[in-house]
Amino acid sequence: MVELAFSREQVLTWLKEVPDPEIPVLTITDLGIVRGVTVNEEVVVELTPTYSGCPATEVIEQSVIDALHKHGVENVRIKRVLSPPWTTDWISDEGRDKLKEYGIAPPAQSASKRELLHGSRAIACPRCESLDTQVVSEFGSTACKASFKCSDCLEPFEYFKCI
């Protein structure tokens, strides 16, 4: 048995420092894309993509490798897992709070099919909390966001779309 210089808990703590490249206020653990960590002769980190075409996927994988290398973990392997598929429900409560503070409305919870098809739930403005908001575009600057406008404070804001 090889004596390991770090524990699984230690590795998890280090992963909590890796930011999402597109929304740097969130870490990859806030986002809920770390699906598993196995510490043996090599450290295997299981990650799941948010969207199929998310261009951040490769950047995130490299950031995880870099972050662990920095802490002296030499042997790192990334395993991509697809199941169960990521939904916005995987974002942690802490992550939701951070999003709101950053000016992005967090996703409405429970990404059910019904919601996606008939989604008309009022989205609160992250600045003034008003529910009097309107969709400007169901798509936004990244694959995961939609664009909204607050009719009360008139500020445009982004909404982390519910999927």
Partner 1 sequence: MKIDDARLAYVLRLGDNALILGQRLVEVVAAYPELEEELANANFALDYIGQARMFYTYAAELEGQGRGEDDLAFLRDENEFRNVLLIEQSNGHFGETITKLVLFESFYLLQLEALMSCSDDRVAEIAARAEKEIRYHLRHNVQWLVRLGDGTAESHERVQQSLDTLWQYTGELFAPDEVDNLFEAEFDGPDLHAIRERWQANVAAIIAQATLEKPADAWMASGGKEGRHSEHLGYLIAEMQYLQRTHPGATW
Of 126, 133, 124, 136, the closest CA to residue 152 belongs to 133
What are the start-end ranges of the E strands in 81-161? 104-105, 133-137, 145-150, 156-160
Q: Is 120 in the site for partner 1 (CB under 8 A)?
A: no
Neighbours of 60 (CB within 10 A): 23
What is the contact mask toward partner 1 in residues 75 to 114, using x (rule: CB under 8 A)? Answer: -------xxxxxx-----------------------x-x-
CB 22, min distance to partner 1, A? 12
| 163 near partner 1, rule: CB under 8 A | yes
Closer CB to partner 1, 16 or 139, in the complex: 139
Residue 27 has what DSSP assignment? B
Selected from 3, 5, 52, 74, the binder of partner 1 by CB under 8 A is 52
* Cα–Cα dist 150/136, whole Å: 10
- Phi and psi dihedrals of 39, rounded to 5? -110, 110
List residues near partner 1 by CB under 8 A. Answer: 49, 51-55, 82-87, 111, 113, 116-117, 119, 136-141, 143, 147, 161, 163
